[in-house]
Amino acid sequence: MASATTRDGLSLRSSPVKALFLRQDVMLLGVLVLMVVFFTAMNPRFFTTFALANILQDWAPVMLLAIAQTYVIITGGIDLSVGSTLGLSGVTCAMVMRSLNEGGTGTVATIVVGVVAALLTGMAVGLVNGLLITRARLAPFIATLATMGAGAGLTLVLTSGVQIAGGPTAVIRLGNTQYLNVFTLPLIIVFVVLAIAWVVLEATRFGRWTYAVGSNSFAARGVGIGVQAHLMKIYLLSGLLSGAAGVFLYFRLGSGSPTSGQGQELAAIAAAVIGGTSLFGGSGRMSGTVLGALITTSVLSGLILIGVAPNWQQVVIGGLIALAVGVQQVNLRTGKVAGHG
């Protein structure tokens, strides 16, 4: 018996395969492979464990911010404050650890308190964002733009524009000791956080509610979802992950830099949008965000290795964002959506 066919002549059996290859995250995987081939052909050092280790160290903080941005954008919002929150949290971590270390507090206690202080700082910014959006009814763009400026300014006030060092020497050891010549303990923790965030988004009620709020907030209210409470949780999560990104950079560098978060909000938004998360809300995949973050961070290493000025990274990322948004617009007009899963 002949197999049934669709209107375009493809068999129903082959349609799922076609749909798979048309998924944005699958296409991005192909783009990443082609990029690796290109940069390796231009400079073989790109395809080495040393280069991979450096790329992953750059990828980790961007990935934490991109996870936050994915959740936020799926709800139909945006968080422009993640970069300044990263910087403020990293500086807070550095200042607390320096103070405790100089006061003779034990290494373990110093590190634990410093990390907790950084995470609480991130959550405090997230709380302010959530209140501005859910209580003051400010648009997410305006609310997070305000906290972005305030956070960056406060970081400069606290540090006088200089790096904060003086923490326990164990910080550098923990942040830079490699396993298998690639992985560090903070990097492994980032992978664990990514796995948890992925499962929560794709397989829990919290994730389903996140998609529902972004798809149609009125309908979400109609089925009993507390939209304002959920948005508050989303922005608290964004602040928490931004604080974690600040901690990662502190452990990597051994100091808190007031400029460490500059431009990171663009990289995080780029990773999510390039990965297929719709700026219109309601759709996106964590798999796409992972690939988007890998692409945006690999570009910098690749450009440096082939002798191109790293400033071109921003140009490339800007072009990729424009292309990704253009694809989203076309898909919206043709009735295709990224979905989730």
pLDDT tens per residue, range 117-156: 999 999 999 999 999 999 999 999 999 999 999 999 999 9
Using only C-alpha atoms, what is the Rg of the chain? 21
Confidence (pLDDT) at 161 = 87
Cβ(261)–Cβ(86) under 8 Å?
Answer: yes
Query: Could you count the other beta carbons within 10 Å of the beta carbon of residue 162?
Result: 11
Model confidence pLDDT, tens digit, residues 205-242: 999 999 999 999 999 999 999 999 999 999 999 999 99
User: If DSSP codes are grouped into helix, strand and coil, which group holds residue 9?
Assistant: coil
Q: Which residue reads 């995987």 in tokens? A: 29
8 burial type by CB count under 10 A (0-12 exposed, 13-18 middle, 19+ buried): exposed
Task: Look at 24 and 304; give whichever has higher pLDDT.
Answer: 304
Identity of the amino acid at 79? D
pTM exceeds 0.85, yes or no? yes
Confidence bin at 203 (pLDDT 50/70/90):
very high
Confidence (pLDDT) at 117 = 97
Q: What are phi and psi of 268, to 5 degrees?
A: -70, -45
Taking 80 as the threshold, does the pLDDT of residue 327 lie above it? Answer: no
Determine the length of the chain.
341
